[in-house]
Structure formats: C-alpha cells, structure tokens
Copies of this chain bind each other. A is one copy, B any other.
C-alpha cells in the first residue's frame, strides 16, 4: 500500500442514484421503506472496506411527489439502526444548521457516536430554498451568506458542547460518592448573533471527541466554511480540470488557515455505471436515461439550480443563465450546470440526460478496469483524495463496485484490504480533537 491512502464513501440513496432507478427491473422500490435494505447496503460497503456510508437529507419533499421515489427515513435514526448491523464502517448523516437548535443536534450526533463506538460523521448543510423554510415558521429562507454565518456560529456552539465534558471528567468512585469531577465539566456560555447556549451538554464526551465534520458546499462561502471546519469535502465535477482546480484551491485555503493540507479529504462524486464491456455499460446508462420522466426532471433541475426552466421547450438550446450573484440556492451546483450546458451547447433534454444519472456528479460508464483507471488517475494527479461512490442502482451497483472495482484498487496498492482502525476518524487518518477545555490545552 502506498503511503497515501484512497478513501471511499458509499453514498446511499434509496434504490439508486439514477433518478429513474426505481423504475428499473433490477431494483425493488418497496425497499425504500425497509430498514433491512439499508443495513444490507452498509454491509456490502463494509465488505468492500469503505471508510463510510453516507445519507443525504432535506427538510421538505424534493421534486415531484407523483414521479419521485421519496425519502422515508431520517438519517440519524437510520444510521443508528445501521450501526447495529455493522462493525467498522463510518456513518455520515446530513443535517442542516438552518432549522435545528445546536444543543439538540449536538446531542443527536454525540449519541450516534456513543452508540456506534466512534463511527459518526456529520455532513453539514445550510439548506437553500423557501420551501424548506416554510416548514419552519418562515416564508422566505435566509440569504446565502447569512445561512453560512449561522452555520459558522452553529459549529462554534456544537463543537464547544462536544468539548464541554473533558475526556477524564468521570471519576465514578462509589466509596466517596463522586461520580464526576465537576471542575472538568464546563459551561460554554455562548452568546452570539443567532444563539445563546449556556451548556454543558448532558452527555459525556463521545468516542471521537467530535464526530467527523463533512461539508459539500463549493461556493465561495462554502469553501471558506469548509476550510475552517470540514475534515472531508464532498464535491461534484464534470471534468478533471475543474476537479484539480477545486482541489488545489481548497487545499490552499486550508493551509492558509494554519491547518495541514491532509487534514481535509476531498471526495468528488462518481456514478459508476458498470458493465462487462464498455458497450454493456453504455447500454445500461442509456436504458436508465430512457426511464427519465422529463417533466419531473425539469422540476428537480429547477430546484437544484434555483432557475425556473419549467416552461422552456425540451428540445431548444438552454437560455442565458442569470449571474451567479443573483442565485440564492446552491451556487456551485448552478455554476457546474451552467458551464456544462454552455460548453456543450446542450438542449434542455440533453442536459436532463447528462444530469439524470448523478445530479451533476461525474458519470463514468465502463468496465471495472475503466472505472478503476479513472479513480487512479484522479487520485494520483491532484483531483481527489478519494471518491463519494454513487451507485446508479442499489444494491446491485454497489455490489458490482465492491466485487469488481475494489479488488482492482487493492491490487494496485491504492486501497486497504482490511480495516486498520475502529473509528471513522481512524479510517480517514484524522486525529481525535483535544477538548478546548482540557487542562493540557491551557498550558
């Protein structure tokens, strides 16, 4: 194994990442309701010694109820159930800083970290869109920059709460009746613009100290936030050039903050459409794209980039896009879609086909060797520290990846053959944070 280690995260999405996966005969759409389906997926990923599994989330119904295989489970509870069916694999849940209280979310992640023996991770999102805000007492969501200001303060509070019990606060002396050393349990006394939180948390420090912090925003605000907080970054790129530019930019920002470049792992998404031959892989990709329902896809694209395309003719070239400064949604995803459409002069229908497989993530249709080549190239040429693997069909696409791509990556010395660590931090090669209140920290 080379000194630098590839990281693989299995992004679990219902019965597959392709938006029409549920219509394909190789899936069982009733599995969306079945916790055993998700436990099975995690066990497949664990067999492939993936670093982690990951669940996206939102606080509204996404897309079109009529044609969308909708989410069911809340991610933290589902990952708790998955923790009981697995031993080693990390468990990353998305949760929004927009509509929760830091005390509640700090507890949920601390509890998942305790229950799983140190395998919890938090994919931090700020949540765009008025539709979400309308489930939380607001007509209109906060502006992009303000959402990130709130997120920044939210992280200040949550990490302080996670630190509020020092690691050695417990005494548990039956004889004297002293359970904890009260000098090692700290009020955090946070008073800020968005939150006032006294603390301490009502839970002892969790196995990882802090659950792993993950972030996926690639806008200017997003990259600034990531360079301050993130330990892994999920990102989406259509070209090697875009990916290397993003990678270099993010690492530069991280080191400018005084952190080591390697303290943040960059994981672009990849949608591996696998076949025994390239022709078979392409046929599967085309079969899936043929199942897309255009009206539904247009509505999802409209939500994804924050530009209304519902009245645009399917076979007409795309219109000029507004300046990104006017976009209040996911700015980086908007830019990716705009650049793709302009670079390749796509019609709306063509764009939907390009996005249906992975919502902007790179689709690689090919043989296991071709997919492994792609991963190796990006990993060794400054585009990625690993990949967020988004199987188009689940479980079959993940099984194919684990059975046919992972062995190649192992044979090439790129990827572990067995777990060496117990916690998610150990899988990602990241240190366990010292509590900011620890006596040693005051020296």
Contact = CB atoms under 8 A, between A and B. Distances in A.
A112 interface: yes
B174 A23 contact: yes
B178 A81 contact: no
Interface in A125-151: 131, 134-138
Nearest to A189: B134
A33 B203 CA distance: 9
Nearest to A174: B23
A1 interface: no
B59 A180 contact: no
Contacts of A114: 33, 35, 72-73
Given A84-B84, A177-B23, A77 B111 contact: yes
B78 A77 contact: no
Contacts of A110: 74
Given A73-B111, A73-B115, A110-B74, A177 B80 contact: no
A180 B76 contact: no
B66 A179 contact: yes
A195 B35 CA distance: 31
A83 interface: yes
A197 interface: yes
Contacts of A203: 70-74
A179 to B, nearest CB: 5
A245 interface: no
A85 interface: yes
Contacts of A198: 131, 134-135
A364 interface: no
A3 to B, nearest CB: 35
Q: Which of A83, A200, A202 has the most CB of B within 10 A?
A: A202
Q: Which of A33, A67, A77, A182 has the most CB of B within 10 A?
A: A77
Interface in A66-119: 66-74, 76-78, 80-81, 83-85, 99-101, 103-104, 107-108, 110-112, 114-115
A204 B70 contact: yes
Given A77-B76, A104-B99, A112-B77, A70 B202 contact: yes
8 contacts: A61-B200, A66-B181, A72-B204, A73-B115, A74-B108, A81-B81, A135-B198, A136-B197
Contact of A35 (B100, B115, B137): B115
A58 interface: yes
A29 interface: yes
A396 to B, nearest CB: 16
Given A35-B115, A73-B111, 18 more contacts: A22-B172, A25-B174, A35-B114, A59-B104, A60-B202, A61-B202, A66-B178, A66-B180, A66-B182, A70-B180, A70-B204, A74-B107, A76-B77, A76-B108, A77-B108, A78-B111, A101-B137, A137-B197
A68 B181 CA distance: 11
Nearest to A184: B65
- 10 tightest A-B CB contacts, nearest first: A84-B84, A74-B111, A134-B198, A80-B80, A77-B111, A103-B135, A66-B182, A23-B174, A65-B182, A74-B107
Nearest to A181: B66
Contacts of A22: 172, 174, 179
A30 interface: yes
A59 B108 CA distance: 12
A291 interface: yes
A310 interface: no
A103 B111 contact: no
A295 B202 CA distance: 21
Nearest to A82: B84
Q: Which of A61, A69, A71 has the most CB of B within 10 A?
A: A61
Contacts of A111: 72-74, 77-78
A81 B78 contact: no
A293 interface: yes
